[in-house]
């Protein structure tokens, strides 16, 4: 495999420089804040957004491509109907959205754009739909681009053909409506590998939080996406690259998630909890999106790519290990402990960390999330199958974008150690990450 066929962050020379920088001097060095231009919230958010959008589109530009999950066409059709009724805006639906965003579905969307010439792309759905819309925009405007060479400030001059990128999330967790990151499955590689495409221009121009669109999420999806938001906020908070802005977002997101996620899972019609979780996911997206995910995301991406477990559950399974590993070199876990009502006064760091991990696991159980790979039911994974894939998981995790941001230097042997202990995820094993 040539260097052109791998992402820049997989290059050993570049990786070494970034990992060293992240563990030593990144805080405050590179800290732009990227977010949607406008975010619409409240029960009237969809109408407010469409009226706002209509003011920017000229008569010859009223064409919108709606990218929507197949199972959620009814929401896409509702957006289309409101566009036409309120502002006379024409639209088409593209619903071949698949989990993990394989490249070939993006190509299908690009072909529609070539024929239809939309001036707005609106995604309606979860992270896969939003990431698909980001990639359609990228490849429609720059079909020659090599994803493996892109860095956040590459500045490709997008928005020449499509003026506005809009995200309307139907889940409360991915934060994709706020971020300049898209995850795509590179199906040209064997096995396929999730690749993070990081480019400031991929941040949606508008985010629209419609409470009605998250009301019908089933319990398992509610849990998985909510745990994803928690992993975003906690994993990001302990990184050296964090800033005052990201800290503010991440801490508030954790506070909301601890209060409202169990309620959302238990009672889907609890609209206060639904709206609070929708906001928490958005805030966590702002927090981690302007820093990075932690190594729980490196491992979750790798594990999920091979075993096809829900992404939020994947990163949740490695969250305790991620916090324990980083805590050896930072005191930032103490702030997290206080949010979990852990007494930090006059106590040893290891005692505080252990209680934090215990309370984090208790919270995950209260939200109906498995706390170890052994406990997984969707799907059930035997230890034999898990160990048979551990070499590939280690390679994928070490070559993941999020590895670059680890506050504590990490290498393949350390990843292997964490993967091995994560099958059972015992507290005494996790604490070894702090001691050694």
Distance CA 182, CA 195 (A): 8
Same domain, 72 and 171: yes
Same domain, 13 and 139: no
Tens digits of residue pLDDT in 351-381: 999 999 999 999 999 999 999 999 999 899 9
Give the residue from 186, 214, 242 where a domain finishes: 214
Q: Are residues 371 and 229 in the same domain?
A: yes
Report the domain count for the chain.
Answer: 2
CATH code, 195: 3.40.50.1970
Q: Say if residue 209 is in the same domain as residue 314.
A: no
Which of 195, 214, 233 is the endpoint of a domain?
214
pLDDT at 16 over 80: no
Query: Tens digit of pLDDT for each residue in 312-334?
Result: 999 999 999 999 999 999 999 99
pLDDT tens-place string over residues 259-288: 999 999 999 999 999 999 999 999 999 999
Same domain, 252 and 106: no
Range of the domain at 45: 38-214
Q: Collapsing DSSP states into helix, strand and coil, what is residue 87?
A: helix
Q: What are the residues whose beta carbons fall under 8 Å from the beta carbon of 175, sequence distance 6 or more?
A: 228, 229, 232, 281, 282, 284, 285, 286, 288, 289
Check whether residue 92 and residue 221 sit in a common domain. no
Are 14 and 67 members of one domain? no
Residue 269 sits in a domain whose CATH number is 1.20.1090.10
Residue 135 in contact with residue 106, Cβ under 8 Å?
Answer: yes
- Are 343 and 420 in the same domain? yes
Same domain? For 140 and 43 the reply is yes
Instruction: Check pLDDT > 70 for residue 22.
Output: no
pLDDT of 172 reads 96
64 Ramachandran zone, left/alpha/beta (phi>0; psi -120 to 50): beta
Q: Is 174 in the same domain as 235?
A: no
363 shares a domain with 392: yes
Read off the pLDDT of residues 46-62 as tens digits, 9 standing for 90 and up. Answer: 999 999 999 989 989 99
Q: What mean pLDDT comes out for the span 60-74?
A: 95
Residues 222 and 302 in one domain: yes
| pLDDT in the model for residue 2 | 47
Give this prediction's pTM: 0.91
- Picking from 284, 283, 272, 282, the residue whose alpha carbon sits closest to that of residue 319 is 284
Last residue within a domain, chosen from 189, 214, 239: 214
Segment 172-195 shows an average pLDDT of: 84
12 or 68: which carries more pLDDT confidence? 68
User: Residue 185: beta bridge partners?
Assistant: 102, 194
């Amino acid at each position: 495999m040539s260097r052109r066929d791998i992402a820049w962050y997989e290059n050993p020379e570049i990786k070494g420089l970034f990992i060293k920088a992240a563990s030593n001097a990144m805080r405050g060095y590179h800290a732009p804040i990227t977010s949607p231009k406008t975010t619409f919230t409240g029960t009237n958010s969809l109408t407010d957004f469409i009226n706002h959008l209509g003011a920017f589109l000229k008569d010859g530009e009223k064409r919108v491509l709606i990218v929507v999950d197949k199972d959620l066409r009814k929401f896409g059709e509702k957006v289309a109907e409101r566009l036409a009724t309120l502002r006379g805006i024409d639209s088409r639906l593209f619903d071949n959205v698949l989990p993990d965003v394989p490249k070939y579905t993006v190509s299908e969307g690009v072909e529609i754009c070539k024929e239809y010439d939309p001036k707005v792309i609106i995604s309606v759905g979860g992270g896969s739909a939003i990431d698909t819309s980001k990639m359609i925009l990228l490849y429609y405007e720059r079909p020659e681009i090599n994803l493996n060479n892109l860095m956040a400030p590459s500045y490709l001059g997008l928005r020449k053909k499509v003026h506005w990128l809009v995200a309307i999330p139907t889940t409360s967790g991915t934060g994709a409506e706020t971020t300049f990151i898209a995850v795509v499955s590179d199906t040209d590689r064997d096995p396929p590998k999730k690749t993070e495409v990081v480019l400031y221009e991929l941040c949606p121009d508008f985010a629209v939080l419609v409470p009605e669109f998250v009301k019908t999420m089933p319990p398992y999806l509610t849990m998985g996406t909510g745990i994803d938001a928690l992993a975003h906020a906690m994993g990001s908070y302990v990184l050296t690259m964090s800033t005052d802005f990201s800290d503010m977002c991440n801490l508030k997101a954790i506070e909301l998630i601890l209060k409202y996620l169990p309620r959302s899972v238990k009672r889907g019609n609890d609209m206060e909890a639904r709206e609070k979780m929708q906001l928490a996911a958005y805030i966590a997206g702002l927090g981690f999106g302007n820093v990075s995910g932690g190594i729980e995301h490196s491992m979750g991406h790798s594990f999920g790519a091979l075993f096809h477990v829900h992404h939020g559950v994947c990163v949740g399974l490695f969250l305790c290990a991620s916090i324990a590993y980083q805590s050896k070199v930072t005191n930032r876990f103490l702030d997290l402990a206080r949010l979990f009502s852990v007494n930090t006064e006059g106590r040893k760091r290891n005692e505080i960390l252990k209680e934090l991990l215990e309370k984090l696991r208790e919270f995950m159980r209260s939200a109906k999330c498995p706390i170890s790979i052994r406990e997984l039911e969707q799907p059930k994974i035997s230890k034999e199958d898990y160990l048979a894939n551990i070499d590939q998981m280690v390679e994928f995790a070490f070559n993941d974008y999020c590895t670059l941001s680890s506050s504590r230097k990490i290498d393949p042997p350390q990843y292997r150690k964490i993967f091995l202990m994560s099958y059972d995820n015992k507290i005494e094993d996790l604490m070894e990450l702090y001691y050694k």
